[in-house]
Chains A and B, each alone.
Chain A
């Protein structure tokens, strides 16, 4: 064995990511939340293939009944199996959560990075716009938008994503501003890398820690907003399902069929709880200074 190589291995430091991973693994609740989320993901994605019913199929012999061996979560008023509807609803809720977060991530990162990198007048104008947008009661605007332009899944997550990028933009701006005078940026500039290259190849990857943390915390917020809109009847339409819609149905018939409220409500709460816990854990692991 080459002795020089052995020495090199010995002095190899731990990277930010290794540090973070070590800290995260020590946080039992965060690890547990990650496992819960993985199980939930498997449940809603693979579940509908295993259950012998489909989410819109009606079993009229078993309409409006509590949990039984045929229907573990019971059935709704139309005799649809609640287990598979909850799985299907979970798919939609998670999908909207992830896609809307992706939309908000894209807008927020690009906006914040540009504002932080160029600074000066550009920064002043862009951040003034964010300040103004911050005080707009956006849920009202989203509701108006959905009612006036039709309720489709696509509009739903575009609208939710388009209104939840503001904080992300502020965080990325702050990170970029603190990084943009570093030597590696000077080196890249000296090597002839353009503005776009410096922003997206050098600055944004270095801000990834905060971006991941905030994105993880955005997912439960957006899922909650989707559920909120579906609860009001402005999101997904029956026979399609989302957790918010199922909770709304459940609330309407809770006197006779409390299981219709309890199962979807429980799964939604558990998922949000796990996402929030994981987000908190990631924040403590990746960005100890951000801890509040």
Chain B
């Protein structure tokens, strides 16, 4: 078990490297530099900015395009590059490799570098501010999802084909089908603006968490209800349940002590993908409810072309997902004696 966990933990690093590389390549391949949109700054200032962010590497310039060494006007630089397209491409590739190594080394030490857009703040500060909020939101949503989903699924399984079953499963399919960005505004309209029971936006004490948590969790509650019902129905037909009934246990004990443990397995294995969905969903929930979390920072960063911040959000979220998936797999092993860690 411990060996398996360690091996899986080591296996996370190549995956993280793939994710890092993928977002880095996207960032480099994008047309236009991060400082192009601003009002023109003197050539020397721009050059210094680019040097600071490793978008320009003196070594590469000296090697492939020596003419670029002095602080040239952008128009002159473009002309020089146009004259030597191949040398220019080689210089870009060389700079990209340098930047890749530089960023990778920084990421390895947990330093995500400065933000392109807010030059006085580091990406780490944004993440430190946003991550706890997003995790809180995700946990609240997960609690809603588990509580509603497990209850509905259990009732549906016990009353199979009864009206409670049909009602629960109909609600579940509705929960899967109604997009959270339709549900969220509707809930705000009803509970915040008409009934004025709960605050419509922002983040703070528990009242603020109910509407966004429920909105984000509803689809997962629906999936969990379906999985619970399916898992329970499968388990209830098995021999050890018949044995439990035969020895005279009450129905309540049979269900709660014997059936639930086996019936929960599909739900536990679903929790990994559900975490991924929660992170993605929080992008839009944080926007609807104006919550200052990672998802909001991500969209704002992407729209501002603040690529270092956007990239860091992707990598940090990926780390969380990978660890969550690993924990789910380990939990499955503890719950299900049939799971063996082979190889």
Interface positions of A (Cβ within 8 A of B): 132, 135-137, 139-141, 143-145, 147-149, 220, 224, 227-228, 231-233, 244, 247-248, 250-251, 254-255, 258, 261, 265, 268-269, 272-273, 276-277, 280, 292
B103 to chain A, nearest CB (A): 15
A281 to chain B, nearest CB (A): 11
Q: Are A276 and B177 in contact (CB under 8 A)?
A: yes
Q: Are B189 and A140 in contact (CB under 8 A)?
A: no
Q: A144-B26, A224-B179 are in contact. Are A231 and B284 (CB under 8 A)?
A: yes
Q: Are A247 and B179 in contact (CB under 8 A)?
A: yes
Residue of A nearest to B313 (CB): A140
Q: Are A269 and B279 in contact (CB under 8 A)?
A: no
Most chain A Cβ neighbours within 10 Å, of B22, B182, B185, B280: B182
Provide the B189-204 mask, 1 if CB < 8 A to any CB of A, else 0. Answer: 1000100000000000
Show 7 residue pairs from A and B whose CB-CB distance is below 8 angstroms, ordered by the A residue: A132-B18, A135-B325, A136-B18, A140-B298, A144-B27, A147-B302, A255-B193
Question: What chain A residues lie within 8 Å of B298 (beta carbons)?
Answer: 140, 143
- Please count the residue pairs between chain A and chain B whose beta carbons lie under 8 angstroms apart in the complex: 123
A256 to chain B, nearest CB (A): 11
Q: Is B51 an interface residue (CB 8 A)?
A: no
Q: Which of B127-182 contact A (CB under 8 A)?
A: 173-174, 176-179, 181-182
Q: Is B310 an interface residue (CB 8 A)?
A: yes
Q: Are B302 and A144 in contact (CB under 8 A)?
A: yes
Q: A143-B298, A231-B284, A232-B299 are in contact. Are A277 and B185 (CB under 8 A)?
A: no
Q: Are A251 and B15 in contact (CB under 8 A)?
A: no
Q: Is B230 an interface residue (CB 8 A)?
A: yes
- Dominant secondary structure of chain B at its interface with chain A: helix
Partner of B321, one of A137, A224, A248, A261: A137
> What class of interface size applies to chain B in its complex with A?
35 or more
Q: Are A232 and B314 in contact (CB under 8 A)?
A: no
Question: What chain B residues lie within 8 Å of A273 (beta carbons)?
Answer: 173-174, 177-178
**Complex alpha-carbon distance, A251 and B283, angstroms:** 16
Q: Which of B285-343 contact A (CB under 8 A)?
A: 287-288, 298-299, 302-303, 305, 307, 310-311, 313-314, 317-318, 321-322, 325
**Complex alpha-carbon distance, A132 and B14, angstroms:** 9
Q: Are A251 and B302 in contact (CB under 8 A)?
A: no
**Complex alpha-carbon distance, A251 and B298, angstroms:** 21
Q: Are B314 and A144 in contact (CB under 8 A)?
A: yes
Q: Which of B1-50 contact A (CB under 8 A)?
A: 14-15, 18-19, 22-23, 26-27, 29-31
Partner of B283, one of A139, A145, A247, A255: A139
Q: Are A261 and B185 in contact (CB under 8 A)?
A: yes
Question: What chain A residues lie within 8 Å of B31 (beta carbons)?
Answer: 148-149
Partner of A247, one of B22, B26, B181: B181
